[in-house]
């Protein structure tokens, strides 16, 4: 199976389908089987493509299963609620950037958590963890935490479609900072941390980049996390929505 970045292909849109649909539909593409080869995009995605995006017959759309498999298709027909796609290529496998990169950030008020998740998704972060610290203003617990997690996963899916990712990032429900204690590859973003070149190579689980709230982490919180490194993000005080993006961008330079 050829390894290829999905974003390398020019397309009018990008959409996620089930693994069965991706693998089964189009298995006989090009052999004249016709409708049996078509991938149907229905539901909310179908309505969005047909009514909002006004996707037309003949346009190119990439489809992916969210786990790295993807292929190129062409619009065969469009209804008010569905778009029917004809596969035009084999199935490709999107490469995996290494080391694995997890970003844990303290969410702030307003739409900042959504903005952070969207930007981290575009950067290619593998896992996003909203963490609750002593200075975190938002207190997501119980049902509110579940709903927040669901909302952020929808944001990540939309951002993955916009950025043409074939692999959906894992976005967890908000969790206490203490759960990161003792994690390997833990790196905390700091104004006076070390350079990205000075970071040790992480283990198989990769880096877990921790970005605290406005005002920073309490000294006792840092102490309880155990052995960790620090990453210099710059001399200025960054907004809560800016710091995770800046720090993740710096770490991206160490990935292959």
Model confidence pLDDT, tens digit, residues 32-57: 444 458 999 999 999 999 999 999 99
Distances, alpha carbon 201 to alpha carbons 105, 233, 249, in Å:
22, 19, 17
Q: How many Cα atoms occupy the beta-carbon half-sphere of 189 within 13 Å?
A: 32
Model confidence pLDDT, tens digit, residues 238-251: 998 899 999 999 99
Model confidence pLDDT, tens digit, residues 176-208: 999 999 999 999 999 989 999 999 999 899 999
Q: Residue 125 in contact with residue 170, Cβ under 8 Å?
A: no
In CATH, which of 3.10.129.10, 3.40.1280.10, 3.40.640.10, 3.40.50.1860 is domain 101-252? 3.40.1280.10
Model confidence pLDDT, tens digit, residues 200-210: 999 899 999 99
3-state SS string over 44-107?
Answer: HHHHHHHHHCCCCCCCEEEEECEECEEEEEEEEEECCCCEEEEECCCCEECCCCCCCEEEEECC
The model's pTM: 0.91
- 6-93: which CATH topology? Ribosomal Protein L25; Chain P (2.40.240)
Model confidence pLDDT, tens digit, residues 66-112: 999 999 999 999 999 999 999 999 999 999 999 999 999 999 887 79
């Amino acid at each position: 199976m050829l390894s290829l970045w999905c974003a390398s292909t020019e397309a009018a849109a990008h959409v996620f389908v089930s693994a069965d649909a991706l693998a089964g539909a189009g298995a006989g593409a090009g052999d004249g089987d016709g409708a049996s080869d078509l991938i149907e995009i229905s539901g909310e995605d179908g309505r969005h493509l047909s009514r909002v995006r006004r996707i037309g017959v003949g346009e190119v759309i990439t489809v992916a299963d969210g786990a790295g498999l993807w292929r190129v298709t062409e619009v065969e027909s469009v209804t008010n609620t569905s778009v029917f796609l004809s596969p035009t290529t084999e199935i490709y496998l999107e490469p995996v950037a290494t080391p694995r990169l997890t970003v844990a950030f303290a969410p702030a008020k307003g739409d900042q958590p959504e903005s952070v998740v969207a930007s981290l998704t575009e950067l290619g972060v593998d896992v996003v963890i909203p963490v609750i610290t002593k200075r975190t203003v938002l207190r997501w617990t119980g049902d509110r935490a579940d709903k927040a997690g669901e909302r952020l996963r929808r944001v990540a899916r939309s951002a993955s479609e916009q950025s043409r990712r074939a692999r959906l990032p894992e976005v967890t429900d908000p969790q206490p900072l203490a759960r990161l204690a003792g994690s390997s590859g833990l790196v905390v973003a700091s104004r006076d941390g070390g350079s990205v070149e000075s970071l040790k190579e992480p283990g198989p689980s990769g880096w877990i980049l921790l970005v605290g709230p406005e005002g920073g982490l309490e000294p006792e919180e840092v102490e309880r996390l155990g052995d960790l490194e620090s990453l210099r993000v710059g001399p200025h005080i960054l907004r809560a929505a800016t710091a995770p993006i800046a720090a993740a961008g710096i770490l991206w330079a160490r990935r292959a």
